[in-house]
Every structure is written in C-alpha cells, then in structure tokens.
Amino acid sequence: MDTQPKSWHNMELKHVPYTLAGHDVPWVLAARQSALSRFAEHGFPTRRDEEWKYTDVSIVGRHTSLEPDHIPPDPSSGAKLLAWTLASEDIHLMVFVNGHYAPALSMINDLPVGVRMASLANILENGADLPESLFNQQHEHTIFTALNNAFATDGMVLDLSPGTVLKAPIYLLFIASGHGVAIYPRNILVAGEGSQATVIEHYMGTLDAHNFTNAVTQISLSARAEIEHCKLLQEGPAATHIAGIHAEQASDSHFISHSFALGGRLARNDITAQLFGKGCHCTMNGLYLLNDRQHLDHHTRIDHLAPECTSREYYRGILDGESRGVFNGKVVVHPSANKTDAHQANYNLLLSRQAEVDTKPQLEIFADDVKCTHGATVGQLDDDSLFYLSSRGIDAELARSVLIYGFANNIIGRVDMPELRTRIAHLVLERLPQGDQIKELL
Amino acid sequence: MLIIKNLHVAIDDNGSRKEILRGIDLNVKAGEVHAIMGPNASGKSTLAQVLAGRGGYLVTEGSVRYLERDLLMMTPEERACEGVFLAFQYPVEISGVSNALFLKTALNAVRKYHGQSELDAIDFLSLVRERMKRVGMEKALLSRAVNEGFSGGEKKRNEILQLSVLEPKLAILDETDSGLDIDALKLVAGGVNGMRNPERAIVLITHYQRLLDYIVPDVVHVLSQGRIIKSGGPELALNLEQRGYDWIEDEVAAGQMV
C-alpha cells in the first residue's frame, strides 16, 4: 500500500544540522541545511516512482525518528567479538557504532606514506579540510543521498596519493546497536592515479531492532587506479537499510564492486559507476540470499561515457520463504562510448513457492560500435544435479545445500582476497541446512 | 548380491503409461562382471537408473533384491551408502562446487552412514591423489567445479575416480565407454579392472563390444525391447560385434532359442 508522502517540513528536524560534526564550519552547515530542505521538499519516493516500483519505503521513519543517533550504546558482545577477531588480522579496521567512529574497537595499522585514512567527523570537527564538492553530493542520485548529506554523522575518508598501493585491506565495520535508531554513515574514497586498495564495508545489526541505516559511499578513481569494494550486508531481521555506492572512473581505472546481501528486513542498494575516461573496467558482482519476509532491492547503473571501456556484471539471488528480491541493472552506453564491451547477467534461484523476484536488466545503447549482452533467469534447483549428489550417498537436504552453495559460490569466487572469500562463504553456509558440514569440508 | 525378478518398469508418456522394461530377470553374484548389451532404446539406461533410484519411473511388477534387502524401497542415498554405485552415462555438471568438495562430501556421507569417522583433509587428499593417478586424471581437476568444462573423457574418468574413492559393492557403469578415444578407454578400463575383486560385482552397460576387449566380463546379456533375450559368455559379445543385434532379435522372433 502506498501511503501519502508525509510532509517533512513540519518535522522537528531543522535543528539537527546544528548538532552534527562540522556545524561550526559555514559551508558544511550550509550544505547540510540545503540538503535537508531538498529532502523536505521531495520527501521519500513512493511506489508510483518508477525507480521504487517494487520497493515500498513508507516504513522508513515509522519505527524510528529520522534524527541520527547521538550517543551510541555499547555494542552487543557478538559485534565486539567480531571486531576483536578482525583487529588481529592483517587489515586496517575502523569500527563505527550507530554511525560513530569507535576508536577503542578499531585497529589501524601502520599506513604507507601517501595514505590518509581518517574519520569524517574528525575531519569536519577540525576545520573540515575536505573539498566541498566531495562532501556536498545532495543533488546526486536518490533523495536518500540528500538525506544522508544532511545527517551524515561519520564514516571513513580515504585519500590515496598517486601510485600508493595499500596491500592490507581496509575493513569498515558498521555496527547497529539499540532500538529505533537512525544511522547515517558516509564514506569518501579518493584514489589517486595508479593507486590501489581494497575496502570492505560490513554492516552488522542486532536481532529484532527496528533500526534505519542510510549509508552513502562515494569512490573517485583517477587514471589507472584500482579499487576493489566489497559490501557485506548483515543487518538484523527487522532493520531497514538504504544505501548508495557511487563510483566515478577516470581513464584506464578499474572498479570492482561486490555486494553480498544476507540480512535486513527491507534493504536497497543503489550501486552506480560512471565511466568518464577511456579504457576503464568496471565489474559489479552481487549475491542476495533471502528468506522469511526479507525484501531486497539492488538497483545498479553503469554509464559508459567514454570509448573502449568494459563492464561486467554478475548478480545472483537465492530466495526462500516469502522473500522478495529485486534486481534492476541498467547499462547506458552514451553516444561518446564506441567500442564499449558490456555484459550483464542475473540468475535467480527460487527455493519456495512464496518467494518472488523481479529482474529487469536494461540496456540503453546510443552508440553504434558496441558489444553488449545481457540475460536473466529464474529457476529452481536442478533435479538431475540433486539425483547425482544423492546417488553418491549425500542426503537430500545436504544435497540441496551443496547445490545452493555452488550457485552462490559462482559469485563468492569472484572476490579476490582468499580470507574474505572464506568469511563470506561461511556466512552463506551458516544460513543453509547442514551448512556447517560443508563448512568443515572447505 | 543382486537378484532382479520379472522387473517391469514404465514411464509416464504424456499421460499414458509406456512400458520400458518388460520382465527383466538378472542374477549377479559378488565377484562377477556382467555386461548388458543392447541396441538403442532397449531399456539399458532405464535399468541402470531404476537400480540407482532415479525418480520418475514406475515399477509395475517384479522385484529387486540387493544383499537380501528390497532395493526399490531404499532412497538413492541409502542405496549409495549400502554400496550401489552408478557411473552416469551423462555425468552432471555442478557449477560452483569443486570436485574435491563433492568427493569429500560423498565419502564422508558414506563413512558416516557406516558409523566411521570423517577422513581428515590430509588423509583425504592422499587417498584421492593416489586414485587420480590410477585413472590418469590431472590433479588440477580436483579444484575445478564438478565436470564443468571437462572433456567427455575427463567426465568419464571422473566417474571412475568417484567409483574408486567410494569403493562400492555393486558398480553399474552406464555406457562409460561412449565418447572415449582408445587411450581414454584403456585408462578407464584399467581403473575398473583395478576395482575387480571377489567381494565386488560390476555391471557394464554398453552398446559396443569394444569395452569388453579391455574389461572381460563373466557373463554377457543381450537386452532388447525391455527383456533379456539372450545370455552367454564373452564370445556372445564378439558375435554381436560381427553380426549386429538383428540376428539375435530375428532368432528370438523365430523362436529358435540357442
């Protein structure tokens, strides 16, 4: 059911920008205020909006205030345990609790020369040494970007000087804690010419908490830069999560995006890449594994704006229970983008009669000399494969889990880092019947 | 070990029942190698599938006893755990699941069924590597997805690898020779011969005599139109090779039982 867009003008939100990091820096405050006005003017999208046709966001604000959480409670012991485990690994760990940097749980190892890695709040509170255009993104993308621009509390700012290669990955762990809180992380990554880094963005929630997360990550790749970005969505079963990941690519750069969506009651990822320079590569991989009444929507968009770029997109969904998946993948080849080579595939596995998926690959081609393909399938587990496994002594339930794992592994296997691949494989297997048995055999 | 009596099997053919097997009698003892030969559409593969427990077949009459048990009452995985193995004519590709994971899962399932502990990673690897050598399989195929991108010969060798790792009591090989060149055929035959022992029975289902040059059977049966119409020694296969299937069918039709 569509509800009338609420009027946000009268909401008691106008004071909020004055309470957030950077309020004493005039341009920061002004950017937040105008973003808030823009949001108040438009309100949330409804299902009459084509881009939100399958995803009803009227729940946003129903269980939570939109005002960002200010004093985060202590995170759950499970979340702390994960942070401690991660801290011992060869990574740079930044932990955020309800959108606020938690230095005590974080572990940033020695960074090579040419890397600036800092908390956004910290930068904003200390004179806001950040180009305004990087912070002020209110007119880009969806209205949720504007809301995030108004209320962003904290996040990571990464600045890689030209030629910097960051070997150890950056791990951003976003923990949602408490009930009914609104969380606004904002990450800004700037990769100089020829620099390289891997960034993991992991969202972890708590059981039954009606939290609302609105996250934005923007990634700017200069010429020849290589960024591998991996998002792990593991929000709690009552959480609402709306996020944008937006990349801009200069010539010969390589952006790899992975999105693993396992948690959340209602989640939406808008992932976009704009290929401005010649000879870029863009890869977008995704896996959504849903059950119960989960609703997960991936909207991706790749804009080929320059010649000789390639894009590859592989998304797979596994849907059980009464879950609902949405995949909308748009590839736009602009007139300036001859010799574009784009391929997109979305495969879905429906495990129950009540599960549903809406898949919509969209190719819009305005150039002549291009090679573009796309495909989408929706199917069930294959009987021949199930029989093959059972004829080797594997019981029906385990056989199903092996096949589901195999289906998922086609995406998991595209992650470059072995440790991360294993972590994700384990998260997937923990969701499958007898998955622990398969886990032991990996 | 395996006693098949008057087995009738039908499939559903667009709503009407179509009989594929029309009274099979077969008795296979431990240690024996039986070859079942027959022209296309004689019911050879149906027999193999029914023995392995594939769904979609309707047993309308007859019985199958395996080690004193009613085989038809057992689930496919139970049959496998009790030692029935089918080498598939068309091995299935399983995307995203490595051959190693598949083999380990299968082996551990069988071991668990028999109350044995799981093999640890090192013991498993040394076992599999040794068995791979026997069938001339490259180690790299262990980390590849099951049968995905395998050549026809590699797929068939992979079946024999599973056979040699799972060490069943009754191995049924469905057209394992089809699509193999002579070198691959020799490797596969070598693998199968290495599995022959007094406790194990092997049923070879084949269209051609060629395989039987390398795996010499004790008994040869000719299947035609869902019935075993003739049984004999290895020389029967040679006869078939020279004269084709028609002469037997004609002979049977003429009522001259030789």
pLDDT for position A174: 96
How many angstroms separate the CA atoms of B258 and B251, rounded? 8
Round to whole Å and give the CA distance between B60 and B79.
20
Question: Which residues of chain B make contact with A408, given a CB cutoff of 8 A?
Answer: 96
- Rounded Cα distance between B240 and A141, Å, is 74
- Backbone Cα Rg of chain A: 21
Of A388, A393, A406, the CB nearest to B109: A393
Question: CA A438 from chain center: how many Å?
Answer: 27
At B56, phi and psi to the nearest 5? Answer: 95, -5
Chain B residues in contact with A410 (beta carbon < 8 A): 95-96
* C-beta atoms of B91 and A403 within 8 A: no
Does B104 contact A441 at a Cβ distance shorter than 8 Å?
Answer: yes
Q: How far apart are CA A146 and CA A150, in angstroms?
A: 6
- At B209 the pLDDT is 85
Q: Which residues of B touch A382 (CB under 8 A)?
A: 92
Segment holding B239, helix H or strand E: helix B234-243
Separation in Å, CA of B181 to nearest CA in chain A = 25
Percent of chain B with pLDDT over 70: 98
Alpha-carbon dihedral of residues B39, B40, B44, B48, nearest 10 degrees?
Answer: 150
Strands B57-66 and B69-70, how do they pair?
antiparallel
Q: How far apart are CA A30 and CA A14, in angstroms?
A: 12
Query: Is B101's CB within 8 Å of A441's CB?
Result: yes
Task: Please report, in tens digits, the pLDDT of each residue of chain A (442 residues total).
Answer: 344 445 554 567 899 999 999 999 999 999 999 999 999 999 999 999 999 999 999 888 887 889 998 877 788 888 888 888 888 889 999 999 999 999 999 999 999 999 999 999 999 999 889 999 999 987 778 899 999 999 999 999 999 999 999 999 999 999 998 888 999 999 999 999 999 999 999 999 987 889 999 999 999 999 999 999 999 999 999 999 999 999 999 999 999 999 999 999 999 999 999 999 999 999 999 999 999 999 999 999 999 999 999 999 999 999 999 999 999 999 999 999 999 999 999 999 999 999 999 999 999 999 999 999 999 999 999 999 999 999 999 999 999 999 999 999 999 999 999 999 999 999 999 999 999 999 988 8
Q: What is the pLDDT of residues B225-242, one digit of tens each?
A: 999 999 999 888 888 888
* Mean per-residue pLDDT, B148-166: 93
Q: Which of chain B's residues have a Cβ under 8 Å away from the Cβ of A421?
A: none
End-to-end CA distance of chain B: 27
Cross-chain residue pair B77–A383, CB shorter than 8 Å = no
> Between chains, do B96 and A387 touch, taking CB under 8 Å as contact?
no
Contact, B214 vs B185, CB < 8 A? Answer: yes
**pLDDT for res A5:** 47
Picking from B75, B92, B108, the nearest residue to A388 by CB comes out as B92
Written as six digits, the tokens of A84 are: 């401690």
What integer pLDDT is reported at residue B255 of this predicted model?
65
- Burial zone of B132 (CB within 10 Å; 0-12 exposed, 13-18 middle, 19+ buried): buried
Chain A contact probe: residue of B50, B84, B94, B120 with most A CBs at under 10 A: B94
Confidence of residue B54 (pLDDT cuts 50, 70, 90): very high
CA distance B105 to A57: 43
Is the CA virtual torsion B128, B130, B134, B139 positive or negative?
Answer: positive
In whole angstroms, how far apart are CA A397 and each of A382, A428, A431, A434, A441? 14, 16, 13, 8, 16
Amino acid, single-letter form, for residue A175: I
What three-state secondary structure class fits B242?
A: helix
Q: Identify from A347, A391, A440 which residue to disrupt to test chain B contact, counting B C-beta atoms within 10 A and taking the largest count.
A: A391
Whole-number pLDDT of residue A6: 53
Taking residues B162-189, report their average pLDDT. Answer: 92
CA distances from A415 to A199, A282, A310, A375 (A): 12, 14, 18, 22
**What size, in residues, is chain B?**
258
Average pLDDT, chain B: 92
Beta bridge partners of A165: A196
Q: Is A395 on the interface with B (CB under 8 A)?
A: yes
Q: How far is A413 from chain B (nearest CA, A)?
A: 8
Of the candidates B46, B51, B45, B86, the one whose C-alpha atom is nearest the C-alpha of residue B65 is: B51
Look at residue A27 in the predicted model and tell me its pLDDT: 96
Sheet holding B84-87, edge to edge: B84-87, B170-174, B201-206, B33-37, B219-224, B227-232
DSSP lists the bridge partners of residue A346 as: A315, A376
- Residue B94 to residue A403, Cβ atoms within 8 A: yes
CB distance A326 to A54 below 8 Å: yes
Helices (H), B60-120: 76-81, 99-113
HSE, side-chain direction, 13 A CA sphere, residue A187: 30
Kindly list the residues of chain B whose beta carbon comes within 8 Å of any beta carbon in chain A.
52-55, 75-77, 79-81, 85-86, 88, 91-92, 94-97, 101-102, 104-106, 108-110, 113, 118, 145, 162, 166
Residue B228 CB coordination number (10 Å): 20
Q: Which positions 333-392 of A are in contact with B (Cβ < 8 Å)?
A: 382-385, 387-392
> Directed axis angle between helix B246-253 and helix B234-243, to 10°?
100
Q: Which residue of B has its CA nearest to A396?
A: B77
CA distance B2 to B4: 6
Closest of A284, A265, A158, A142 to residue A215, by C-alpha: A142
CA A199 to chain centre: 11
